[in-house]
Chains A and B, each alone.
Chain A
């Protein structure tokens, strides 16, 4: 039982970080129709930017967060402007490849400047553990879940209530109609990339805090694909359900079956879902007519 509770908390922590990473992915896909293979690298860059501000420049926590957010926004907007805008109207293969190229570039830049050895930073979240139903659970995992929940709620409220959020939903729904209503589609595209980079930054920092800041952060980012396929490529609630499911699935497989199997089980689940329900649990079903 205690083992179960521990697995559960670990799974939920991983899952909520995954949900954050996947949120950025879904935002980009929904608003611009681009499938972003560089989402994992956004996590990586976010984690290292925060590390730079917090440890290398020795800024206070709040300023470090602001620094990270500014850099993430700049990167997101630049990527949209310089790399994705010229690709508008190209076939999916080219768009997928351009984001793969971007992921290689970002990964290589991080590697060139910071090397491959893991970086440790002072703990942001408390490292001590508490007893829950007889299980020892590290507090930082619980905090990770809470922070992710707050951020995801904030994003949801932003989409529902704020002017920009409603404009984003309008663009995702119908670009032409949104344009005629005076919404700047370009600005929305830039905003989608910036928000995606920010949510990836938060995910990257959380992940860096509970494990370490190293290249594995990007590998973790690859798991967004099972998440979004499970939840639906264009669904924000889907990322939460998908993220938690994949997090729990991985954690329980590692805990009860086999650690190696845990790395591949999300992909097996992915193939099964694709065969049964290709558009995910909450995804929009596209019907093709000619």
Chain B
């Protein structure tokens, strides 16, 4: 346990279960809220679009972290599940004509069901075997969406209508990013709050018990089958939400957006952020979404002195990705979340060392 929670004397279980106990924590929460409220008024459209992508990534990464970080079930099928969410939501809203929010809800439920189906091998498999099984599920889903021409009406992609709900429609270029910012931020915040609270309930604790020692968990009465399948359902639900938001935000769905690379990108987010930490998933989503853009800017800035960087931009970005994943796993396996904890501890104890 990080030292940040010491020095607080709990007198009841309810006070121990509180998410925030100290003034500093409330202060940071206030700061966060203020920042989120101010952002859309100070940033230009380009950076807002980056923030919007981050919000979608936050939802997807939190979803994946529930499965991988908290339940210990590794999944390489993230891209496939996002595709299920994106396609079902696009078809339900555009072709069947459901109101967008309703279509999103159905898409989430459908993705949860698909997640449970592909989670079935997880009942018998662990670790590397499960990783390979989910790799197969990614390949199979990708194949289905590429080949099943009914999905895309033969075009290879689906155009999605502009987000609309009860007469409200997302506006044109000037306000587009800002309106989406509010939609996505609210959903991302709700996702974070929900996920944080899942792990204060018995269900969430059973997930963690499965991760830490599944046989022991079963011995103390955790229903392994139910815990694993629920984890797959909850996680894929969030992932489906991220997928359907991708569809409505970018207004076009095509299979290239949901390849194995996406699965790996999301795994990288939760590794870099911190496995088994909701805050970590958020940090990871921010880090990994901004990384390509940062590298692009650095490469452009260095174009005169090191033309190689700018010429080989995609390769340089991929290499940086690989190096960052490896470096985090070797030097800080618990990710940015742990670094942040250490920083907080340092200031808390200053001028003492511990």
Contacts and interface: CB of A to CB of B under 8 A. Distances in A.
Contact of B325 (A90, A97, A106, A226): A97
Contacts of A103: 322
Q: How large is the interface on A (under 10, 10 to 19, 20 to 34, 35 or more residues)?
A: 35 or more
Given A270-B132, A274-B133, A96 B312 contact: no
A271 B124 CA distance: 12
Question: Taking chain B's interface residues, is the majority helix, strand, or loop, or is none over half, making it mixed?
Answer: helix
Given A264-B143, A271-B121, A290 B215 contact: yes
Question: Taking chain A's interface residues, is the majority helix, strand, or loop, or is none over half, making it mixed?
Answer: helix
A234 to B, nearest CB: 11
A275 B124 CA distance: 8
B143 A102 contact: no
B51 to A, nearest CB: 26
Contacts of A106: 322
A211 interface: no
B271 interface: yes
Given A94-B333, A270-B132, A290-B219, A105 B139 contact: no
A28 to B, nearest CB: 12
B76 to A, nearest CB: 9
A93 B275 contact: yes
Contacts of A264: 139-140, 142-143
Q: How large is the interface on B (under 10, 10 to 19, 20 to 34, 35 or more residues)?
A: 35 or more
Contacts, number: 133
B257 interface: no
A278 interface: yes
Interface string A220-256: 0000011001000100000000000000000000000
Given A87-B330, A274-B125, A97 B271 contact: yes
B315 interface: yes
Contacts of A63: none
Given A92-B131, A111-B314, A112-B316, A97 B267 contact: yes
Given A96-B128, A278-B124, A112 B315 contact: yes
A260 B255 CA distance: 15
Nearest to A106: B322
Nearest to B260: A222
A210 interface: no
A159 interface: no
A146 interface: no
B224 interface: no
A90 B128 contact: no
A105 B326 contact: yes
Interface of B: 68, 72, 74, 120-121, 124-129, 131-133, 135-137, 139-140, 142-143, 146-147, 215-216, 219, 264, 267-268, 271, 275, 308, 312, 314-319, 321-326, 329-330, 333
Instruction: For the complex of A and B, list the 3 residue pairs with the smallest distance between their C-beta atoms, beginning with the closest.
Output: A105-B322, A101-B325, A104-B322
